[in-house]
Amino acid sequence: MEKNHVFDQIPDYLDGNLTKSEERAFETHIKSCRECQNELEEMKTFFNAFEEDVATPSDRLKSKFESALEQEKLNQGKVVQLESKPSSNWTGNVLKIAASIALLVAAFQMGSIFQQRKVNEDIAQLQDETNQMKQTAMLSLMENQSASKRIQGVNYIEEFEQPDEAIIQALSNRLLYDDNDNVRMTAFEALAKFTSSQTVKTTFIEALEQEKNPSIQVSIIQALVQIQEKKAAEPMKKLLEKEDTQPFIKEQIKAVLPSLT
């Protein structure tokens, strides 16, 4: 005949919620029931695992336990009981639930990571589109018939920390071919920030060979000397030979030429 187990009293026993008579009856039964002893030990082990965080089982935990216990009782009524340890294991079921919750938390965290990655990608795409719009506006302004608009376009370089080759080339064209002195000077000042570019170095040398404005000539000479561009020596020597080269430009060249040869 199947014993009357006291599984449902285990939580109250561990919590000290049983009356004195109930507690004595419980302990008397436990001494003679191996299955209830095993269940009690498993419950003690389970509660001890959470002792640091939770002093006593919450009402919610007790409710879940009792609900799981009722389900296990129903399941026991459908199978033939063997002498071995019953298959019901509340602790194992709770651990499975805990594992499921952990998986849900991990899935949520992974979802958050992927969502953040998507946001970063969207921001990068938006920044790229914004830069494209700025570049289009800059290049368009530099082709404007108005010199002031062309200067405005050149000054758009402030919006780009690392301008691409198309922007560098457009600025070079302003320095080499614009008929307005102010536009050419502004273009030079913009390009002077990117003298590590081979295109800029080549443009400065070419501009030095054809530039007629003394102020721009001096600025180009100083920039080429500062970056120690050896290829600038020949254009400077040619300027020394030209009769229309301003005397103070020749003096400047004579002073810096030895450092390039």
Checking if the pLDDT of 82 tops 90, the result is: no
pLDDT bracket for residue 62 (50, 70, 90): low
Instruction: Provide the token pair at 114.
Output: 């992927």
pLDDT value of residue 161:
84
pLDDT value of residue 173:
95
Q: What is the pLDDT of residues 230-249, one digit of tens each?
A: 999 999 999 999 888 899 99
Q: What does pLDDT average to over the chain?
A: 80
d(CA 135, CA 9): 77
pLDDT value of residue 124:
73
Task: List b or e across 221-239, with b for residues whose CB sees 16 or more CB atoms inside 10 angstroms.
Answer: bebbbeeebeebbebbeeb
Cα Rg of the chain (Å, integer): 43
d(CA 52, CA 254): 84
pLDDT value of residue 18:
87
Checking if the pLDDT of 89 tops 50, the result is: yes
pLDDT bracket for residue 93 (50, 70, 90): low
Instruction: Provide the token pair at 135.
Output: 């570049």
What's this model's pTM, rounded to 2 decimal places?
Answer: 0.53
| Rounded mean pLDDT, 153-167 | 89
